[in-house]
Amino acid sequence: MLKKGLSVAFVLMALLLLVVACNNQEPKDGNTDSAPTSEKDGQDMKEKPEEEITLPKTTLHKTDQGESVQSLQEILNKVGYSLTVNGEFNAMTTWAVTDFQMQQEGMAVSGIYNEATKEALSNALENESSIEPAAGLEKPDNDKSTISNPHEILTLVNKEHALPANFVPRNLVKPDVRFPFTESLPKMQMREVAAGALEEMFQAGDNAGIDLFAQSGYRSYDRQDAIFASNVAQHGEEAANTFSARPGESEHQSGLTMDVTSPDIGYKLTVEFGETDEGQWVQQHAAEYGFIIRYPKGKEEITKYQYEPWHLRYVGQDAAEEIMQKGLTLEEYLGVK
């Protein structure tokens, strides 16, 4: 009985080994129903589509931060730029947006990511076209005293940041508003984007029953040089520099500024304008149209200029509303002194 039991056990063991051997044997043709895990993983990686980057839907400009800015930077890199993707709308991102805009036919140049820029970037991606960086605007350099991107709407012009002597704004036009003179003069002009906003503001003022007049807009570098020299001759350089800019340091050269006045003060540019109905209305409503009072009362230590309630600077509605609501100067808003 013992021998018979051992024989049966031996037979069962042999059958089990045969079954295992058959299961481990690969087909002769080398084909298998399933690939090794590493091979399947590799196929999945190849077939997985690249994560799609969508263009931001909101307007973006210098000082903005977050995922929308990061997406914009990634899109700009896709069309040819080499930005650091950090989610900060910094000087280099502003330069890239400006440079891209300058290479688009008929596009307003602002340095602000807006609906028109979004559409142009979308077309560039769809057509797989690329941009030659710096073909429209040279990259910023390290010279902080000279503005390297004078085309952007939020460019800071002051005693420490001067416009290039040869800078002339693009798209200078005469806004359809009232002037207290009839001669056709260069100072009637503004950049087109600012001129359109000024027209809207004047129309709103008319509807409110106030009587605004535009007095002085664009000035060339040479014209500012002559004005400053005249003021120095009359008042001395130190006094002149509190109310008159040296050439290159005037916002008027940017094409984004208009001095406004009213009949109540004889169309002059004086601090009394702030006390008129027109001056008070401008203080309350200018930001709705993208303008700020560039040199506010009590901020002389920051702006280095006297209070000028008549001096309006276009920065775009988003920035203007924040600046005016918080009582900031442009220097404070941009974090630059």
The mean per-residue pLDDT over the stretch 276-284 comes to 98
Of all helices (H) and strands (E), which one includes residue 191?
strand 190-191
The mean per-residue pLDDT over the stretch 138-148 comes to 79
| pLDDT tens string 109-126 | 999 999 999 999 999 999
| pLDDT tens string 55-88 | 999 999 999 999 999 999 999 999 999 999 999 9
Domains in the chain: boundaries: 67-126, 172-334
Residue 234, pLDDT score: 93
Query: Distance between CA 316 and CA 290 in Å, rounded?
Result: 4
| pLDDT tens string 10-36 | 444 554 444 444 445 444 444 444 444
What is the pLDDT confidence band of residue 51, given thresholds at 50, 70 and 90?
low
* CA proximity to 313, closest of 188, 218, 240: 218
Residue 281, pLDDT score: 98
Class of domain 172-334: alpha beta
> pTM to 2 decimals?
0.81
The mean per-residue pLDDT over the stretch 135-140 comes to 92
What is the pLDDT confidence band of residue 132, given thresholds at 50, 70 and 90?
very high
| pLDDT tens string 189-233 | 999 999 999 999 999 999 999 999 999 999 999 999 999 999 999
- Average of per-residue pLDDT values in the chain: 88
Residue spans of beta strands (DSSP E) within 133-182: 172-173
Residue 103 has pLDDT above 90, yes or no: yes
How many Cα atoms occupy the beta-carbon half-sphere of 60 within 13 Å? 25
Q: Give yes or no for a contact between 100 and 121, defined as CB atoms under 8 angstroms apart.
A: yes
| pLDDT tens string 241-279 | 888 999 999 999 999 999 999 999 999 999 999 999 999
| pLDDT tens string 167-188 | 999 999 999 999 999 999 999 9
Residue 320, pLDDT score: 98
Query: Distance between CA 129 and CA 106 in Å, rounded?
Result: 18
What is the pLDDT confidence band of residue 2, given thresholds at 50, 70 and 90?
very low
Q: Give yes or no for a contact between 250 and 258, defined as CB atoms under 8 angstroms apart.
A: no
Residue 337, pLDDT score: 65
Residue 146, pLDDT score: 84
* CA proximity to 216, closest of 113, 309, 311: 311
Residue 1 has pLDDT above 60, yes or no: no
- What is residue 257's three-state secondary structure? strand
Topology given in CATH for the domain delimited by 67-126: Muramoyl-pentapeptide Carboxypeptidase; domain 1 (1.10.101)
Residue 102, pLDDT score: 95
What is the pLDDT confidence band of residue 143, given thresholds at 50, 70 and 90?
low
What Rg value do the Cα atoms of the chain yield, rounded? 33
